[in-house]
Structure 1
Amino acid sequence: MTDTLTPETQTTDAATAGFVDRDGTRHPLPDTEAEARVRADDRAHVFHSWSAQALIDPLPIAAGEGSTFWDYQGNAYLDFSSQLVNLNLGHQHPDLVEAIRQQAGRLATIQPSMANDVRGELARRIAEVAPGDLDKVFFTNGGADANEYAVRMARAVTGRRKVLSMYRSYHGGTATAISLTGDPRRWANEPSDGSVAHFMGPYAYRSSFHADSPEQESERALAHLEQVITLEGPNTVAAIILETIVGTNGVLVPPPGYLEGVRALADKYGIVYIADEVMVGFGRIGEWFAVNRFGVTPDLITFAKGVNSGYAPLGGVVISKRIAEHFDTVAFAGGLTYSGHPLACAPGVATFEVFERDGILERVRDLGERVVGPRLREIAAKHPSVGEVRGIGLFWAIELVKNAETREPLVPFNASGADAAPMGAVAAACKQAGLWPFVHFNRMHVAPPLVISEEDLVRGLDIIDEALTVADSYVA
């Protein structure tokens, strides 16, 4: 596929990127005085998420464009994490910026109980690309509250309370969403919503089911899930929620038949199937929704992040006809002041226009199949520290190990401090070479903006290749 995207300007000069202050004046980089002001305000007054406040030193960022951002020293970084896997159309995409500017100029906000043109158009466009009869959209401010409201809908429709979710998962930081979360971020927030039970999902590389093929992994994981449903009490379970492709916890692509099996179990026991697509929706794997690739229709889909590349807070729930009709004559007990905010919906509409005009979905599939997959497999064969690479589109994980035969992780599960030092060293090597990585436990993820040029994509993979020599030094 020819690389013809215009928003990716290939700007690499720090002075050209510059720092634009609040009155619109552009300052060339480096700008040490501006950096000092930003750092001082941040350290004195900003309380950061998931952090021990005195132990962090956030990097002040001056500018961004396309797949690159700059610090105030003028150092450029290829954004291989799309920030938090939300910046699908890159930094400062002109179409999204212009959509916000125009919307602010004609109607900055309106309450959600009133009809609004961009809100309605975005809902229609989302419904048109959703599978099956998922034709209604409830807008939220982000992914966590999208999952909160999806669970609330499932409980209202079924009259049941319990929700099942995977251990290897992240569903958000609010009350029920953090209870649904399976990873260690849940631990310090317990107890919260006590009506959540966790189960083991498929993970062929580290199979909990002693499977020797993807098909067997799927079969045994589904048998386990049905056993959990039975032991928890089928008539108590309102919903099963799972990330279509597990994101932060490993880029775990479901094996053949797994999602279809979840759908069948949900139907068998009258359970609502919620697909969390906060991270993988809107093009990340080359599909509007990842479930489309697997031919599965959930009852509810949650989304956020890529719907407008995070240019303004926005998320939502796409709702099937059966669930939507329940609320035709029964009031839905929920709402948000900023539900479907016009300044968030406008870049969402622009996102659809950019995707269609520039062939983003086709581009992502092409780059994943032709560039990323083959190169990562070459890297895996070259480096003894690479246990496995896996992914689809522009969403991949490199799992690092100390021993390829035993599959001992490069760092322990939930490692911190000195135990996490090997991954810290790999990440530092990437940053030193001009790439900002996404690392979690013993994995490095590859999730650049969908508009990244092929040249920058290859350059970023080259940087990772070189940085993995650091990981190799820890191999037993």
Structure 2
Amino acid sequence: MSSPINDPDKAAKVFADDRANVFHSWSAQAQISPMAIAGGAGSYFWDFTGKKYLDFSCQLVFTNIGHQHPKVIEAIKAQADILTTVAPQHANEARNEAAKRIIEVSGDSFKKVFFTNAGADGVENAVRMARLHTHKHKILSTYRSYHGNTGAAINATGDPRRFPNEFGYGHVHFWGPYLYRSPFWATSQEQECQRALEHLEQTIIFEGPKTIAAILIESVPGTAGVLIPPAGYLDGIRALCDKYGILWIADEIMAGFGRTGKWFAYQHSKSSPDLIVFAKGVTSGYVPLGGVVISEPITKSFDEQVFPGGLTYSGHPLACATAVATIDVMKSEKMLENATAIGEKILGPGLHELAKKHQVMGDIRGAGVFWGIDMVTDRNSREPLAPYGASSPKMNEIVATCKKNGLMPFNNFNRIHMVPPCNISEADTKSGLELLSKSLSEVGL
């Protein structure tokens, strides 16, 4: 691991330059104080004062292979020497190899990949494909979801970030399964699954099946809380889509590429979607890349019909070479197997053990290296520690204390997400759990 530097003057300059020149997303600019990051390696990153953080956020849940993996960095350098960029209408070797590898891990029904720059424009183009293929316009998605910040993607999103951005058309929201806060008065996962599917079918009927192009769902809703679907729910989605002539778009932007211990989270079910949207972990975020994996019937729709979409950097050689190297090291270093073992043996059991000590930890759910914790004021009432769509002084204190102690969790509303890299060691996983427990104790929880 590279040695963190200790340069307070540089820290101050980087911070000052940021505040003077950079406009940040999802923020009131005068109310933020961004950390100035100097470097990273493996499961850690550090600031310019030399303070190290154990990265249980994977930034925005994308450094699936950790920071600065040497084999992937070397592949980026090698591709830069060969061909850094080329227009998307030309064929290039890096894009071909990336497409082959992504198709290989997607499933037998998938034939081609449309490359985008990120997840949001992946969702955008998947929605466009679905509408053109079906000649229908509505897109159904859940309230507890996040799909990106472009036109259709933000309207498909369920969370409050869509409220000031609702300029798209044809988007309908429904309730997905979430037993801990069930909208269906369910008392078991089986009941929650059945009632959620019944609710979805009624939504389809009342919206009109002949108007619905696709159901767009995160295979495991991520930012919404790492909401692992009940057994049979995704199979039920597939059955409803087949019954009513609707496409299933699986948003695997956050859950894909090893995060749940599978290449894609939908692979925990028996069914396959029609379109898969990916980004984040495909390159571990080292170079921006996203895309849509397309099943054969949909690719044939555009054999003679023009697909009216494209991006200047679609299939960018540097990004695609990064994806090739990322997938290859995930395979050779057995990162999916590691993620599964970490989740089953350490992270899952460890969080449940911490909950015996910390009453603020309500519901705990997850798979692989993808875990969410509902933080509550009272376990009996399940009152959230922060309201929907906002934070609270106590949640802010928890996160600040975690950072003080050198742990970087991912947090949203009343939830703490523990989402380390797929190749995290057992020792670092245990350290993350200890730091969380220490931080909660210091806050008095």
Question: TM over 0.5, yes or no?
Answer: yes
| 2:45 matches 1:69 | yes
Decide whether the 8 Å contact of 1:273 with 1:300 is kept in 2.
yes
Name the CA distance, whole Å, in 1 between partners of 2:277 and 2:399: 31
Counterpart of 1:78? 54
Kindly provide the CA deviation profile for residues 75-120 of structure 1, in whole angstroms up to 9, marking residues without a partner as x. 0000100000000111111111111101011111111111111100
Kindly provide the CA deviation profile for residues 2-40 of structure 1, in whole angstroms up to 9, marking residues without a partner as x. xxxxxxxxx3xxxx524xxxxxxxxxx211222122112
> Aligned match of 2:401 in 421, 425, 429?
429
List aligned pairs for 1:101-180, cutoff 5 A: 101-180=77-156
* RMSD over equivalenced CA pairs, Å: 1.0
List aligned pairs for 1:435-454, cutoff 5 A: 435-454=407-426
Decide whether the 8 Å contact of 1:68 with 1:91 is kept in 2.
yes
Counterpart of 1:4? none
Name the CA distance, whole Å, in 2 between partners of 1:200 and 1:132: 30
Name the CA distance, whole Å, in 2 between partners of 1:470 and 1:320: 51
Decide whether the 8 Å contact of 1:384 with 1:472 is kept in 2.
no
Counterpart of 1:381? 356
Counterpart of 1:6? none
Counterpart of 1:17? 3
> Aligned match of 2:239 in 264, 275, 278?
264
Decide whether the 8 Å contact of 2:56 with 2:409 is kept in 1.
yes
| 2:202 matches 1:230 | no
SS for the counterpart of 2:129 is: helix
Kindly provide the CA deviation profile for residues 160-193 of structure 1, in whole angstroms up to 9, marking residues without a partner as x. 1110000000000011100000001111112x11
1:37 counterpart letter in structure 2: K
Counterpart of 1:296? 271
1:356 counterpart letter in structure 2: K
| 2:361 matches 1:361 | no
**How far off is 1:132 after superposition?**
3.3
Kindly provide the CA deviation profile for residues 40-94 of structure 1, in whole angstroms up to 9, marking residues without a partner as x. 2101110000000001111101111111111111100001000000001111111
SS for the counterpart of 1:437 is: strand
1:377 counterpart letter in structure 2: H
**How far off is 1:472 after superposition?**
5.3
Name the CA distance, whole Å, in 2 between partners of 1:50 and 1:396: 24
2:437 counterpart letter in structure 1: D
Name the CA distance, whole Å, in 2 between partners of 1:31 and 1:472: 33
Counterpart of 1:25? none
Name the CA distance, whole Å, in 2 between partners of 1:61 and 1:95: 22
**How far off is 1:438 after superposition?**
0.7
2:395 counterpart letter in structure 1: M
Give runs of ≥4 in structure 1 deviating > 3 Å.
Answer: 470-473
| 2:10 matches 1:34 | yes
Identity %: 55
**How far off is 1:468 after superposition?**
2.2
| 2:441 matches 1:469 | yes
Kindly provide the CA deviation profile for residues 217-244 of structure 1, in whole angstroms up to 9, marking residues without a partner as x. 0000000001111111110000100000
Decide whether the 8 Å contact of 2:401 with 2:443 is kept in 1.
no
More divergent stretch after superposition (32-41 vs 421-430): 32-41
Q: CA distance change for structure 1 residues 235 and 176 in 2, over 3 Å: closer, same or farther? A: same
Decide whether the 8 Å contact of 1:380 with 1:388 is kept in 2.
no
Show structure 1 runs of 5+ residues with no match: 1-10, 19-28
SS for the counterpart of 1:211 is: coil
